[in-house]
Structure 1
Amino acid sequence: MIPFQKVNIGEIRLMLAPSTNEKEQLNEKLNALGFEIIDNKTGGLIEKIKNLVIKRARNEVDEKAIRVNLSTYLSENVHHEYTYLSSLFSFVEGRTIENYFIEQRIEKAKELLIYDQMTLSQIACELNYCGVSHLSKQFKNITGLTPTFFKGMAIAHRFAMDKI
């Protein structure tokens, strides 16, 4: 028997790393039941990449991290070559790290547009776009809407607190 800490649907957290023999036995028993062991290192690495990309896209990093390009930022923080990270991410996620980064920036832009406290120029500056036109183009590519139209839709669907 292999000692474990926690069992969730699709996941088991072991107390110690199993020996090669224990791992083989566990794998055989799981295969007989139609299950397989998935290496969690890959999943953990993908999650780390996603978290770093989200922080960077939302400008929740220090000034030094903003100045370096995304590939350098990820390589330095994950301690792997960017080509490896990029290939792995694309294989697992079915999209590139760059596309994921753009999607996260647009999500932040949508959030800021809904809050209606910043101009589009301020949002572009906040998210490190080179200008409003660049932000607008990426926004339309991702959402199918212009930022102005999106903002108008968001405001039209807001309710006053006393009306809820």
Structure 2
Amino acid sequence: MKMYVKFDFNTLCKKILDEKLKEQGLKYRLVNVGEVEFYESFTEEQHKTFKKSLEDYGIEIIESQKTALVQKIKDVIVELVFSNEIIPVKASIYIAEKLNHSYGYLSNLFSEVTYTSIENFIIIQKIEHAKELMIRKKQNLTEIAHRLNYSSVAHLSTQFKNTTGITPSQFQKIVMMRRKTQHFDQQYRKVV
């Protein structure tokens, strides 16, 4: 028997952070995704212990200010792309306003640290969300293009193919074939 689960990584990380911080007995406040404000200082030993306890979950403490700001940029982009609402402003304006820096500065910093552009990261996130919408929500390409703020289905399809190497239609066929195979496997197991 198989079970499929869906993760909300932001909620999961907040819960882990909250539990691990409570274990340390530190006074803190979770500000945003991946941001903790401490009300008191802590020892180097507490810092090491806390850092180690997070590593078990694949969570790392960001030591550099630049890296921290790049992570904030990524978090804002994920929030923007995966939002249930359509944001009526351009991504560049949204990111700059959300982080209170000029877009030019954020763009240069992002490229310097990640070796890719903010625009490329946005496209990758949009395509990942498009895949999720096709698989889980079973939305058509017109609905997905509208939801992800594409000018047309053709624009979405072009970016999808450039990113994944296949068209959205080919992706949907692969998903359908896998579902049929899984259904067949489940039926076969019942018989055997």
TM-score (norm 1): 0.72
> Could you say what secondary structure the match of 1:88 adopts?
helix
Superposed CA deviations along residues 20-68 of structure 1, whole A, max 9, x for unmatched, are xxxxxxxxxxxxxxxxxx852112111110011111122345x5xx111
What value does the CA root-mean-square deviation take over the aligned residues? Answer: 2.3
Unaligned runs of 5+ in 2: 1-41, 55-61
Q: How many aligned residue pairs are there?
A: 133
1:44 has 2:65 as partner: no
Query: Which one is further off, 100-109 or 118-127?
Result: 118-127
Query: Residue type of the partner of 1:3?
Result: T
Task: From the CA coordinates, give the structure whose radius of gyration is larger.
Answer: 1
Name the residue aligned to 1:73.
Answer: 94
**Structure 1 runs (4+) greater than 4 angstroms displaced:** none
In 2, the alpha carbon distance for the partners of 1:40 and 1:92 equals 11
Unpaired runs of 5+ residues, structure 1, are 12-37
Aligned-pair identity in percent equals: 40
Give the whole-Å Cα distance in 2 for the aligned partners of 1:146 and 1:49. Answer: 29
SS in 2 for 1:130: coil
Q: Could you tell me which amino acid in structure 1 is paired with residue 173 of structure 2?
A: G
CA distance in 1, matches of 2:132, 2:138: 10
Match of 1:127 in 2: 148
- The 1:102–1:130 alpha-carbon spacing in structure 2 relative to 1, beyond 3 Å, is same
Equivalent pair of 1:54/1:104 in contact (CA under 8 Å): yes
Corresponding residue of 2:82: 58
